[in-house]
Amino acid sequence: MRDINEHTPGEDLIIKTAVRLMVPFAQLFGLYVIVHGHYSPGGGFQGGVILGAAFIMLALAFDVKTSQQYMTIRVNTVFNNLGAAIFVGVGALSAIFGGLFLDYSALDKLIPMGPVEWRSFGIFLVEVGVGFTVMSIMVLLYWNLSSGGAMDEGL
Amino acid sequence: MEAVISEIVAKYNYWIYVVLMMIGFYAMIGKRNLVKKLLGMNIFQTAIILFFVSIGVKKGGGIPIVDKYQALAGGVDAATVVNPLPHVLMLTAIVVGVSVTGVALAVLIRIHEEFGTLEEDEILEKLRQ
Amino acid sequence: MSTPNLHLFVLVVPLLSALAVNLWGRNNRQMIAPLVLGSLAFSVLGSIVVMGNVLRHGTISYTVGNWQPPFGIELIIDPLSAMMMVLISVVALLASFSSLKSAEQELPGREAFFFTLYLILIAGLHGLVLTGDAFNLYVLLEITSITSYGLIAMGRGRAALSSFNYIIMGTIGACFYLLGVGYIYILTGTLNMADIARILPTLNAPVATTTAIAFVLVGLWVKMAFFPLHAWLPNAYSHAPTGAGTMVAPLMTKVTVYLMIRVILNVYTPALVFTHDWVTNGVMWAAAIAIVCGSALALGQKDLRRMLTYIIIAEVGYMVGGVFLANSNGLTGAILHIVNDSLMTLCLFLVVAAIIYRQGSVSLDSLQGIFRRMPITMAAFTLGAFAMIGVPPTCGFFSKWYLILGGIDGGHWEFVIALVVSSLINVILFFRIIELAYFGSLADGEHHEHGSTERHEAPWWMLKPLVITAVLLIVVGFSTGPLINNVISLIIPAGF
């Protein structure tokens, strides 16, 4: 792993230190926004953007290659598809277990928690999926656009 | 005359959105630089999003965040709370706008690689040769 | 997997396989073809079963997430949407055999990305024909549009510029539609289609209702390339990668025409839309000009694929004119033409894909004498050409017949004359190519790998869907009667 303290031209020590201090709090806040999404302001998309912004801060302050050491392209691809698969999978699972599509109360047959509780919890599951996808897509968009498409050579 | 002025003043927010939409539309059609067209598209979409959000505003209405158990116990009086449905719809519209902007920027990078310029008339010149 | 949810599984299975292709298709190239073909085959079977259910039991009403309408999202599964689902799945499956080969040749190494976008587009199209909620329609419209922007931009040369123009025009259309939905929401307070249809006539706000209708219709017209908003289509579809063009050209504009029919029939009842005579007359004149201009511009093209895209513009004119005739013959003709035109366009674009796979170009000069090298392909092309011209018993004849009948019934002679003129121009267009292909001396050029008169037919994977589509053209032509009696007549509202 490249030494983070190695000096590359054009990068400022203050920015690097500030970003290194800020990123954990940004990620914590992003997780907080996702988790509180289903009954107060917040939700999957908003929390996902904040989480993605944390990685983009790293890429802005250091280098795209450095931020790729924290999230490799392979992990990015997995998060992309995992998030969308969670959303569609929860819906399909509810349909398989006898309810309608995205009718979370049917998942009661899988883990008994009471149908009303499941309708609330199902939204949370789906928002987590959305958060994963949005986070990885924001980071992927930034990598691709800032480097003119050269990022996909990493695989 | 009085009625016209009071019309404009009473609905000033809608007039602002219309002006924004026209600015965005003009930029999409009238500007020669491709990035400016893209930004015009963004302004147009943002104006529509603002228009939608301002649909739900009520006079004297508060923010639509209520305590869960209070709401379950006593219900929510619709007249005191701003309509949250347009806000939620516009979240989706914002996501759509972000995706289109992302795709358009990636396409612009391809165009720049291909033609070396992002001005529409220079590109048409190159194509004519 | 239970039958009440089958129509959504028809949508979900391509979506899940798109995610699978994205995850695993980059490293194992062999997995892409089984995933694509398997999921689309499942969609075909599922949509046929759904169609059977709908014809037996009547319209199914389905609420996603078990939230009751008008608060939840409702799906409409009536004979029209079931028919569209079958059409989309069949066309997508046939096109994907050919697209797999074309993508292998034109986009080596990037097929995983190509087919991810491809499958998500098909899932979005299925969703478009199922939805019963006005805002959900906007979201799915944008899903299909964004994936098609990406697919078109993957081509070579001018593809990126054409895709950018398409992005600008397409976003204008979608934003107009969104604005129209906003006005409807202010007026009625609901986004459910059936609810809007119930509440709108009772309101007394003619200016606002007319503005809402105008914005929604203009937005959809931009998306379907109705004259004079058609400028993006020829460039976008002719510079796209061949595999993308084969699937997008038969489907996208026709599904948008379906959306216009759905909006006119189910959201605003026809009484509201067809009140002002000057509006219907204006649209009929625009449709007639679209037909004539599309066909005339096609005459001047030197490239077969570009010629076909101009013919698509003319066909959209047929369908919009048919709907705005406001009588039952016209609407029957328009809905029948959606099915027929998808199949005809698919057949012709499959021919183009086969020729490009073997020769690399479809300019009219390089088509000379091609019959000797690719006889089956050109036979299918002849059948597709006859269908476009409107020769019985191919399907193209019957839809034109109904459209002409509807035009005479409604007294819109400009539409009838435009239809006849465009058929004549199509005769010139296609017979010119048939003459070049069958009787021209062989073009000498650097493209061919083998000697001149040796048979160098398209590969089996591209021939099979071509032959099936050509046969379907005749089969659908013969079964026009049952199709109209059992499916389409159920859709036409009683007052027409």
**Longest distance between any two alpha carbons in chain B, whole Å:** 74
Asked if A84's CB is within 8 angstroms of C23's CB, the reply is no
At residue C458, φ and ψ (nearest 5 deg) are -65, 155
B34 interfacial to chain C (CB closer than 8 Å):
yes
End-to-end CA distance of chain C: 40
pLDDT tens digits, C202-238: 888 888 888 999 999 999 999 999 888 888 999 999 8
Which chain C residues touch B92 with a CB distance below 8 Å? 135, 139
Q: What is the DSSP string of C235-303?
A: HHHHHS-HHHHHHHHHHHHHHHHHHHHHIIIIIS-HHHHT--HHHHHHHHHHHHHHHHHHHHHHHT-SB
Predicted confidence band at A8 (pLDDT cuts at 50, 70, 90)?
low
SS3 assignment for C284-320 = HHHHHHHHHHHHHHHHCCCEHHHHHHHHHHHHHHHHH
Nearest in space to C370 (alpha carbons), one of C452, C300, C301? C452
Query: What is the rounded distance in angstroms from the CA atom of residue C100 to the CA atom of residue C242?
Result: 10
Query: Which position has the higher pLDDT, C15 or C490?
Result: C15
Is the pLDDT assigned to residue A155 strictly greater than 50? no
Is the pLDDT assigned to residue A7 strictly greater than 60? no
- CB atoms inside a 10 Å sphere around CB B12: 10
Which chain A residues touch B96 with a CB distance below 8 Å? none
C117 interfacial to chain B (CB closer than 8 Å):
no
Domains contained in chain A, number: 1
Asked if A103's CB is within 8 angstroms of C66's CB, the reply is yes
C373 to chain B nearest CA, in Å? 34
Contact present, C51 and C85 (Cβ < 8 Å):
yes
Is the pLDDT assigned to residue A2 strictly greater than 70? no
User: So what's the pLDDT on residue A154?
Assistant: 35
B42 interfacial to chain C (CB closer than 8 Å):
no
Predicted confidence band at C5 (pLDDT cuts at 50, 70, 90)?
confident
Query: What is the rounded distance in angstroms from the CA atom of residue A84 to the CA atom of residue C158?
Result: 32
Which chain C residues touch A78 with a CB distance below 8 Å? 23
Average pLDDT over residues C434-448: 67
Q: Which residues contact B6 (CB under 8 A, 6 or more apart)?
A: none
- Radius of gyration for the alpha carbons in chain C, expressed in angstroms and rounded: 22
B88 interfacial to chain A (CB closer than 8 Å):
no
C12 interfacial to chain A (CB closer than 8 Å):
yes
Which of C160, C168, C186 is facing B111, going by the closest CB pair?
C160
CATH class of B2-128: mainly alpha
Nearest in space to C64 (alpha carbons), one of C13, C26, C7, C125? C7
Contact present, C5 and C64 (Cβ < 8 Å):
no
Which chain C residues touch B52 with a CB distance below 8 Å? 178, 182, 185
ipTM tops 0.95: no
User: So what's the pLDDT on residue B104?
Assistant: 94
Contact present, C135 and C184 (Cβ < 8 Å):
no
Sort residue C260 into left (φ over 0), alpha (ψ -120 to 50) or beta: alpha
Query: Cα separations (Å) of B28 from B33, C164, C237, C303?
Result: 10, 12, 22, 30
Average pLDDT over residues C142-171: 92
- Radius of gyration for the alpha carbons in chain A, expressed in angstroms and rounded: 19
Q: What is the DSSP string of C17-83?
A: HHHHHHHHTTT-GGGHHHHHHHHHHHHHHHHHHHHHHHHHH--EEEEGGGPPTTTS-EEEE-HHHHH
Query: What is the rounded distance in angstroms from the CA atom of residue C332 to the CA atom of residue C398?
Result: 10
Asked if B109's CB is within 8 angstroms of A145's CB, the reply is yes
Contact present, C234 and C175 (Cβ < 8 Å):
no
Asked if A45's CB is within 8 angstroms of B95's CB, the reply is yes
Half-sphere exposure of B42 (CA within 13 A, CB side): 15
Asked if A148's CB is within 8 angstroms of B106's CB, the reply is no
Query: What is the rounded distance in angstroms from the CA atom of residue B54 to the CA atom of residue B49?
Result: 9
**Longest distance between any two alpha carbons in chain C, whole Å:** 74
User: So what's the pLDDT on residue B76?
Assistant: 78
Nearest in space to C11 (alpha carbons), one of C69, C58, C64, C70? C64
User: So what's the pLDDT on residue A9?
Assistant: 53
The domain segmentation of chain B, as residue ranges, is 2-128
Cα dihedral value C486, C492, C495, C496, nearest 10: -100
Average pLDDT over residues C113-141: 93
DSSP state for residue C484 in the 8-state scheme: I
pLDDT tens digits, B45-59: 999 999 999 988 888
- pTM of this structure: 0.92
Angle CA C161–C167–C169, to nearest 5: 105
Is the pLDDT assigned to residue C2 strictly greater than 70? no
DSSP state for residue A152 in the 8-state scheme: G
| Residue C96: Cβ-neighbour burial (10 angstroms; 0-12, 13-18, 19+) | buried
Helix (H) or strand (E) holding C494: none
**Domain presence at residue A114:** yes
Residue C70 preceded by cis peptide, ω within 30: yes
Average pLDDT over residues C468-483: 89
Of A126-140, C194-208, C249-263, C306-320, which gets the smallest average pLDDT?
A: C194-208
pLDDT tens digits, B32-90: 999 999 999 999 999 999 999 998 888 888 888 877 777 778 777 778 888 888 988 99
Residue of C nearest to A86 (CA): C16
Contact present, C358 and C373 (Cβ < 8 Å):
yes
Q: Which chains touch B (3 or more CB pairs under 8 A)?
A: A, C
Angle CA C454–C459–C462, to nearest 5: 130
- CB atoms inside a 10 Å sphere around CB A28: 13
Asked if B65's CB is within 8 angstroms of A145's CB, the reply is no
User: So what's the pLDDT on residue C107?
Assistant: 85
Test mutation, B39, B41, B89, chain C, max C CBs within 10 A: B89
Range of the domain at A35: 13-149
Which chain A residues touch B110 with a CB distance below 8 Å? 149
Measured over the CA atoms of residue C281, residue C263, residue B103 and residue B40, the dihedral's sign is: positive
- Angle formed by the axes of helices C32-57 and C6-24, nearest 10°: 170
- CB atoms inside a 10 Å sphere around CB A146: 13
Measured over the CA atoms of residue C311, residue C316, residue C321 and residue C323, the dihedral's sign is: positive
Query: Cα separations (Å) of A77 from A137, A144, C21, C109, C147?
Result: 9, 13, 11, 17, 18
Contact present, C54 and C80 (Cβ < 8 Å):
no
- CB atoms inside a 10 Å sphere around CB C195: 19
Asked if A95's CB is within 8 angstroms of C22's CB, the reply is no
User: So what's the pLDDT on residue C171?
Assistant: 94
B62 bridge partner residues: B81
Residue of C nearest to A123 (CA): C65
Test mutation, C1, C2, C3, C5, chain A, max A CBs within 10 A: C5
Query: Cα separations (Å) of C62 from C4, C13, C14, C189?
Result: 8, 19, 20, 21
Test mutation, B91, B96, B108, B112, chain A, max A CBs within 10 A: B91
Asked if B123's CB is within 8 angstroms of C161's CB, the reply is yes
Q: By percentage, how much of chain C surpasses pLDDT 90?
A: 49
Asked if A78's CB is within 8 angstroms of C23's CB, the reply is yes
Contact present, C127 and C140 (Cβ < 8 Å):
yes
Query: What is the rounded distance in angstroms from the CA atom of residue C182 to the CA atom of residue C205?
Result: 15
Which chain A residues touch C8 with a CB distance below 8 Å? 91, 95, 101
Query: What is the rounded distance in angstroms from the CA atom of residue C383 to the CA atom of residue C379?
Result: 6
Query: What is the rounded distance in angstroms from the CA atom of residue C11 to the CA atom of residue C119?
Result: 10
Q: How many Cβ contacts (< 8 angstroms) between chains A and C?
A: 53
Is the pLDDT assigned to residue C95 strictly greater than 90? yes
Angle CA B61–B64–B66, to nearest 5: 120
Average pLDDT over residues C259-275: 85
Query: Cα separations (Å) of A140 from A76, A135, A146?
Result: 7, 9, 10
Is the pLDDT assigned to residue C433 strictly greater than 60? yes
Query: What is the rounded distance in angstroms from the CA atom of residue A114 to the CA atom of residue C236?
Result: 52
Distance of CA C157 to the CA centre of its chain: 25
C160 interfacial to chain B (CB closer than 8 Å):
yes
Q: Which residues contact C378 (CB under 8 A, 6 or more apart)?
A: C351, C370, C371, C434, C437, C438
Asked if B109's CB is within 8 angstroms of A45's CB, the reply is no
Asked if C4's CB is within 8 angstroms of A81's CB, the reply is no
Contact present, B85 and C215 (Cβ < 8 Å):
no
User: So what's the pLDDT on residue C1?
Assistant: 40
User: So what's the pLDDT on residue C169?
Assistant: 93
Asked if B106's CB is within 8 angstroms of A149's CB, the reply is yes
Average pLDDT over residues C481-485: 84
Which chain A residues touch C20 with a CB distance below 8 Å? 81
Q: What is the DSSP string of C214-232?
A: HHHHHHHHHHHT-TTS-TT
Asked if B91's CB is within 8 angstroms of A149's CB, the reply is no
pLDDT tens digits, A66-111: 888 888 888 999 999 999 999 999 988 888 888 788 888 888 887 8
Test mutation, B53, B109, B110, B112, chain A, max A CBs within 10 A: B109
C63 interfacial to chain A (CB closer than 8 Å):
yes
| Start-end of H helices in chain A | 13-35, 44-61, 64-70, 73-96, 115-146
pLDDT tens digits, B118-128: 888 888 888 88
Query: Which position has the higher pLDDT, C239 or A151?
Result: C239
Which chain A residues touch C15 with a CB distance below 8 Å? 84, 88
Which chain B residues touch C175 with a CB distance below 8 Å? 44-45, 48
User: So what's the pLDDT on residue B37?
Assistant: 94
Question: Which residue is associated with the tokens 């500007």?
Answer: B31
pLDDT tens digits, C283-299: 999 999 999 999 999 99
pLDDT tens digits, C20-33: 999 988 888 888 99
Q: What is the DSSP string of A46-88?
A: HHHHHHHHHHHHHHHHS-HHHHHHHS-HHHHHHHHHHHHHHHH
